[in-house]
Amino acid sequence: MSNTDALIEIRNLSKTFPGVKALDSVNFTLRKGEVHGLMGENGAGKSTLIKVLTGLYQRDGGEILLESKPFHASRPQEANNAGISTLYQEVNLIPDLSVAENIYIGREPKKFGRIDWKKIYQDAENDIRKLDLDIDVTEPVSSYSMAIQQLIAIIRALNLSARVLILDEPTSSLDLAEVKQLFKVIRKLKNDGIGILFVTHFLDQVYEITDRITVLRNGKFIGEYETAKLPRLELIAHMLGKNLDEFTLEQQKELKTKKKASDSDDFLRVENLQKKGAMNPFSLEIRRGEVMGLAGLLGSGRTETARLLFGIDKHSGGSLFLDGHEIAISSPKKAIDQNFAFCPEDRKVEGLITELSVRENIILALQARTGVLKPLSPKQQEELADKYIELLQIKTPSRNQSVKNLSGGNQQKVIIARWLATDPVFLILDEPTRGIDVGAKSEIEKLILQLRDEGMAILFISSELEEVVTCSDKIAVLRDRNIIGELNGEEMEVGNIMRVIAEKEAVQ
Amino acid sequence: MKLLQIKRKNIPFLATISVFFLIYLAGSLMYDNFFSLRVFVNLFIDNAFIGVLAVSMTFVIISGGIDLSVGSVVALVGVLSAKLMQDYGVHPMLAFALCLALGALIGSVMGALIHFFELPPFLVTLVGMFLARGLAFLISLNSIPIKHPFVDKIIDFGIPLGFRTWLPVIAIIFLVIVMVGIYLQQFTRFGRNTYAIGSSEQSAILMGLPIGRTKVLIYTFSGTMSALAGIVYSLYTCSGYPLACVGLELDVIAAVVIGGTLLTGGAGLVQGSLIGVLILGLIQTFITFQGTLSSWWTKIVIGVLLFCFILIQRYLSLAGNRES
Amino acid sequence: MKILPDIQNPNFQRLLWPLAALAGILLFNLFFTPGFFEIEIKDGHFFGSLIDIINRAAPVMLLAIGMTLVFATGGIDLSVGAVMAISGAVAATVIRPDYVKGVLEYGEIQPLYLVIGIPLALSVLCGLWNGILVAFVGIQPIIATLILMVAGRGIAQLITQGQIVVFIHEPFQYIGSGFFLGFPFPIVMVVLIFILTYLLTRKTGLGLFIEAIGANAVASRFMGVREKQIKLAVYMFSGLCAGIAGLVVCADIKAADANNAGLFLELDAIAAVIIGGTLWGGRFTLLGSIIGTLIIQSLTTTILTRGIAPEVTLVFKAVVIIAVALIQSEKFRNVFSVMVASRRTKA
């Protein structure tokens, strides 16, 4: 195939951040009239690639050709002007302004020096007709659904005479019907000769809409494939960097001292818990002294599951049973009253109170439980802090050090310490080892098993499949916001997890 | 069918108009002479300076900010123009021009501090409030009467409306500024960008709109209008007094909110603020006509109205969130 | 027990700048204002410029104590001045219930606990109102408290019918102008409230929760910190402090002036808190706010003794607040350090 119909050609693109090689000699080609999926797990370099392309980041090496001419954007505006438009997961429109105005704001047509509203409304009307939409362009954007808003954003982008459309997870918050509507428009644009770069975590969608797929992993180019000729399992293997044969033979790590699951009754039972638009109904059973792992690709619903169990998101259906009794978990407070604990994925935003000291961060959850009137004495606080600093080997110059000065791994340990101080019966760990060094990581893995042996029930979420296999007693596999399978005992292998993700049809 | 549907974003404005007519109707039914051209015109004269401020405050609040300095700037301009005219013999037009320039300067500096150093608007404009009031005291501690033949001419000028009523210069300025405000808001990119910033600054940045320039311009506009309101106030009272208009910013903010502008930014109309100012004026007039009700009822009624409108806004935004 | 403050302690470092500023003003007076540091004892009472400064600053100190906690939760309370007016008006009305109707007789003398208790209960109610709007209705603090700022003064005027209610009530007047152990009672009261608030926040979990909510509300909620209840309590406390400040002013002048009592003191209180080093949402320091108040008041007194119009202090306040705000602004520090660096390379 000749490259004459190539819109964008990227060769040997590199981008380094302090300490990380985010892109390492990456190649990528986008042709006219194709939908090209860009796939990869966290840290693969997808968003870095997009940001270099749109001028948010500057590249360190390599070249970008736009229609065979060298191209370089130093600001997003330049990329826009060159015909490259980007749509993000969050709709970037002005919610209070009308549909028409959102399409034209910043470049409103003028007549006698004043904004020509008549023309704006007429043009907007024409624009939405072209995409077979039937909406009132004088209504504020906020009165329409997310899907319509995405389409409006696309119209705005196209109006900037876009030849390349980058869609960065546009479907994350859309329901099935809305995705269909979006895809209809994407196919239409494709037929008009526009090149579309599509990033998503939904496997079904990739296979439905893309013509070709480029896979990145850890900043490296893995390969470019025709979608129709790439089996799902192979795609997952490429994304995760695993060779399937390796895993069927792989020995379980020594670390794991598999314990026969206790014969006690279920400690926590979840039946058909769900939240509309975030997580489809699922059921789970966890016993005391058991680690349940959640495995799945990015965006498969792992964090959503955790948030439902901890009452951060209110479920719209289903029930929870603790030791056979139905309980209502409608807020984190309620969950904590049941002795639940939750270490969130986003440490900085949801976990740490960065302005406060290590000591304060460690005692906060316990203090919140004992209440305002029963303060922990300074001595108790210091003892608690010291106990966990030693137990978890938190590296800090002093317990009064501001927690923002600690490394990622030590910050994570502070959050775990905070919850251990409350002596929980059920601990949810969402990506506890993300972004921390190998040593700290294996310490945390060891800790999980130790806590399990002490009788704690643990829900363990990680995007690293080996880790899930190593630490879990059973594994629930997720895909596209569903729990699609459960693995026990000998079945628990990385290969099997991948097979489940690839093969099982999602329950709709 | 479509005409009958009330759009959600219009509810605050419709509520404002209803409140205005309710008070006007009540006053007209209860008191003779309430429903007269003179009383109506007086609304525009007595509230001219608040009206001018309400126009610029509408822009500030729509952009998601607030300007607490307006009352002090009015006082500063009043004292400064009086001092220039009376003690230094500066011609009124030149004095007024200098005052407008000073207002623009104060506003642009505040805007720059807010934008470039990301300081909260309430803090920066609070400082502006202290500074302007302090400068006013530095210029004079006492009231300075303004006596100038040219100023007298301006004050005496008016457009006859019939029934022995005149529309004086300050009311004309008020109405002209309202028109200018509506034009800026509806027909210029500056006006539309104001909405964009207040509604979603993040989106506005990603859409490539000129955020910094717009923000600085908004506060410059507010400072200039504060100076103009100061001139209007000088013409209205024929004096400059450093303690004038203490707490005026609250009345202006109240007028804008009662006029249907969202305090969180993103929505509102200059014409709404006009009605808001007239409502405040009507309440005053009502209480004057009533005779036995005292002035503090004004504050309480304004507080209650403010509360109701803020609750409406809160409810609407919650309802909006639930929908999407 | 440590006696010397720990210099490495961030809490102490935060106070360094305000302390330096205060020291600077005092030093200036040491050289240029004769007799500034003299303290006389007359009839067993202390008198002098320093005592006077603290005494005058007492109402704002009370407001600043309440405001500090509100600020730390990431809020603001604009209504404190109006609440002061309400509190004073109610106290005067309790003492002379029929004054506004033109009856000049006192009737029976009201017991002190009613004269103090009723206004303070109402002040707490005002705080409750603010707290409900902020914590439960979810209105931004600046807007929620604006309502009471506007309407509150009207309510105070309604209570006094716009008149200045003068009164004589010996026990009550003691709050404003009495002496305790030789010190003016308002000072004693501030010290008491300060110690009480310190104990309440630092010896219970409250202070930690307030800082946690202000610094990261989401994480606090995930830990089960009762965000709404704590915010409610903080606004109620701010109302109480304002109420006490209102009583002090009212008892001092032996009259309730609904028009002017507490007028613009909310701005002084906010300024004091900012100057004192409390962050908008996060770490707070009660002592810093007290020092902030002292800076403002000693500045005012200094200017007075220089023979400059006291109103001009506004200019100084403005300069100080913006300077402190700029120092705290990360953007400014970045720009500033770049400027310094480029100058160095040039030189």
Q: Which of C270, C262, C268, C267 is nearest to C152 (CA)?
A: C262
**In A332-435, beta strands by DSSP E:** 340-343, 426-430
* pLDDT in the model for residue C24: 87
Burial class (CB in 10 A: 0-12, 13-18, 19+), C202: middle
Strands (E), A96-183: 110-111, 114-115, 164-168
Is A31 part of the contact surface with chain C (CB cutoff 8 Å)?
no
Please name which of B51, B80, B54, B76 lies closest in space to residue B67, comparing C-alpha atoms: B54
Is there a contact between A101 and B192 if contact means CB atoms under 8 Å apart?
yes
Give the position of tokens 């209105």: C139
The whole-angstrom distance between B202's CA and the closest CA on chain A is: 8
What's the pLDDT at B320? 58
Residue C279: closest C-alpha in chain A: A355
Q: Which residue of A lies nearest to C202 if distances are taken between CA atoms?
A: A375
- Write out chain C residues lying below 8 Å of B127, CB-based: 318, 321-322, 325
C-facing residues of A in 346-375 (CB < 8 A) are 349-356, 360, 363-365, 367-375
| Distance from the C203 Cα atom to the nearest Cα atom in chain A, whole angstroms | 7
Burial C148-164 (b: 16+ CB within 10 A, else e): bbbbbbbbbbbbbbebe
For the ranges A89-103, A440-454, C97-111, C229-243, the one whose mean pLDDT is highest: C229-243
Query: SS3 for A21?
Result: strand
Cβ-defined contacts of B19-26 (< 8 Å, 24+): B19/B258, B19/B279, B19/B305, B20/B275, B20/B278, B20/B279, B20/B282, B23/B279, B23/B282, B23/B283, B23/B286, B24/B282, B26/B286
From the list A77, A114, A145, the residue facing B208 with the nearest CB is A77
pLDDT at C191: 94
Q: Is A354 in contact with C216 (Cβ distance < 8 A)?
A: yes
- Is pLDDT at B189 greater than 70 in this prediction? yes
- Tens digits of residue pLDDT in A295-336: 887 778 888 899 999 988 888 888 888 888 888 888 888 889
Asked if residue A2 has pLDDT above 80, the reply is no
Query: Is the confidence at residue A90, as pLDDT, over 80?
Result: no
Give yes or no for a contact between C283 and C69, defined as CB atoms under 8 angstroms apart: no
**How far is the C-alpha of C326 from the C-alpha of B124, rounded, in Å?**
10
Residue C212 is nearest to which of A342, A353, A372, comparing CB atoms?
A: A353
Whether C69 has its CB under 8 Å from any CB of chain A: the answer is no
Topology agreement, domain A6-246 and domain A266-339+425-508 = yes
Residue B233 has, within 13 A of its CA and on its CB side, a CA count of 33
Note whether A363 and A385 are within 8 A (CB).
Answer: yes
Contact A93 B200 (CB under 8 A): yes
Please report the residues numbered 149 through 188 in chain B whose beta carbons come closer than 8 angstroms to any beta carbon of chain A.
183, 186-188
Contact A431, A462 (CB under 8 A): yes
Q: How far B11 CA sits from the closest chain C CA (Å)?
A: 19
Please give the Cα distance from B299 to C260 (Å, whole number).
15
pLDDT at A260 over 60: no
Contact B200 A143 (CB under 8 A): no
Query: Whose CA is closest to B18, among B305, B297, B313?
Result: B305
- Cα C49 to Cα C29: distance, rounded to the nearest angstrom: 10
A140-165: b (≥16 Cβ within 10 Å) or e:
bbbbbbbbbbbbbbbbbbbeeebbbb
Average pLDDT for chain B: 86
Token pair of A434 as six digits: 């993300």
The CB-side HSE value for A277 (13 A sphere, CA atoms) comes to 10
B contact residues 236-275, partner A, Cβ 8 Å cutoff: 262, 266-267
* Chain B closest-CA separation from residue A145 CA (Å): 6
Q: Give B222-252 pLDDT, tens digit per residue.
A: 999 999 999 999 989 888 888 887 778 888 9
What's the topology of domain A6-246?
A: Rossmann fold (3.40.50)
Residue from C70, C146, C260, C312 whose CB has the most chain B CBs within 10 Å, to mutate: C146
Q: Does the structure show a pLDDT above 80 at B205?
A: yes
Is B299's CB within 8 Å of C157's CB?
Answer: yes
Q: Rounded to the nearest 5 degrees, what angle is found at the Cα of C83, between the Cα atoms of B252 and C246?
A: 130
Query: What's the mean pLDDT when you consider all of chain A?
Result: 83
Query: Residue C219 and residue A369: Cβ atoms within 8 Å?
Result: no
**Cβ–Cβ < 8 Å for B230, B282:** no
Q: How are the residues of chain C apportioned to helix, strand and coil, as percentages rounded to the nearest 5?
A: 70, 5, 25
State residue A265's pLDDT score: 65
Query: What is the per-residue pLDDT across B11-67, written as a single tens digit (0 to 9) for each?
Result: 778 888 888 888 888 888 888 888 888 888 888 988 999 999 999 999 999 999 999
- Highest CATH level, class, for A266-339+425-508: alpha beta
Angstrom distance (rounded) from CA A151 to CA A147: 6
Residue of A nearest to B264 (CA): A96
Does the predicted interface ipTM exceed a cut of 0.85?
Answer: no
Structure-model confidence comparison of residues A121 and A266, the more confident one: A121
State pLDDT tens for residues B273-310.
Answer: 999 999 999 888 888 887 777 777 877 888 888 888 88
Domain residue spans of chain A? 6-246, 266-339+425-508, 354-423
Which residue in the block uniquely carries the two structure tokens 């009345």?
Answer: B251
More confident residue, C7 or A243: A243
Could you read off the pLDDT of A175-199 as tens digits, one per residue? 677 788 888 888 888 888 889 999 8
β-strands A220-226, A212-217 pairing: antiparallel
CA dihedral C67, C71, C75, C80 (to 10 degrees): 10
Low-confidence ranges of chain C (pLDDT < 70): 1-13, 104, 106-107, 328, 330, 340-347
Q: Which residue of B has its CA nearest to A145?
A: B324
The reply to whether residue C157 touches residue B295, judged by beta carbons under 8 angstroms, is yes
Phi first, then psi, for residue B5 (nearest 5°) are -70, 135
The three-state secondary structure class of C44 is: coil
CA nearest to A459, candidates A253, A290, A334:
A290
Q: Does B148 touch chain A (CB under 8 A)?
A: no
A342/C222 touch (CB, cutoff 8 Å), yes or no: yes
CA distance A233 to chain C (A): 37
pLDDT surpassing 70 at residue B142: yes
Cβ C62 vs Cβ C244: under 8 Å: yes
Q: What are phi and psi of C180, to 5 degrees?
A: -130, 120
CB contacts of A140 in chain B (<8 Å) are 9
Kind of pairing, strands A35-39 and A212-217? parallel
Asked whether the beta carbons of residue B137 and residue C314 sit closer than 8 angstroms, the reply is yes
pLDDT tier at A250, thresholds 50, 70, 90: very low
Element (H, E) at B1: none
Contact A106 B198 (CB under 8 A): no
Of residues C341 and A8, the one with the higher pLDDT is A8
Full DSSP string of A166-195: EEESTTTT--HHHHHHHHHHHHHHHHTT-E
Partner residues linked to A213 by β-bridges: A37, A225
Q: Do B193 and A146 touch (CB under 8 A)?
A: no
Q: Which residues pair with B180 in a beta bridge?
A: none
The answer to whether the beta carbons of residues A445 and A394 sit under 8 Å apart is no
Which of A200-209, B102-111, B201-210 ranks highest by mean pLDDT?
Answer: B102-111
pLDDT at residue A249 in the model: 40
Would you state the pLDDT for residue A463?
A: 80
| A165 three-class SS | strand
Question: A107 Cβ partners below 8 Å, 6+ apart?
Answer: none
pLDDT at residue A487, rounded to an integer: 87
The sign of the CA dihedral B223, B225, B228, B234 is negative
Longest pairwise C-alpha distance within chain A: 82
Of residues A243 and A25, more confidence is placed in: A25
- B161 min Cα distance to partner chain C (Å): 36
pLDDT bin (cut points 50, 70, 90) of residue A253 is very low
Contacts of A303 in chain C (CB under 8 A): none
Residue ranges of domains in chain B, CATH in brackets: 33-316 (1.10.3470)
Question: For residue C341, what pLDDT is reported?
Answer: 67
Residue of C nearest to A311 (CA): C222
Question: Taking 60 as the threshold, does the pLDDT of residue B324 lie above it?
Answer: no
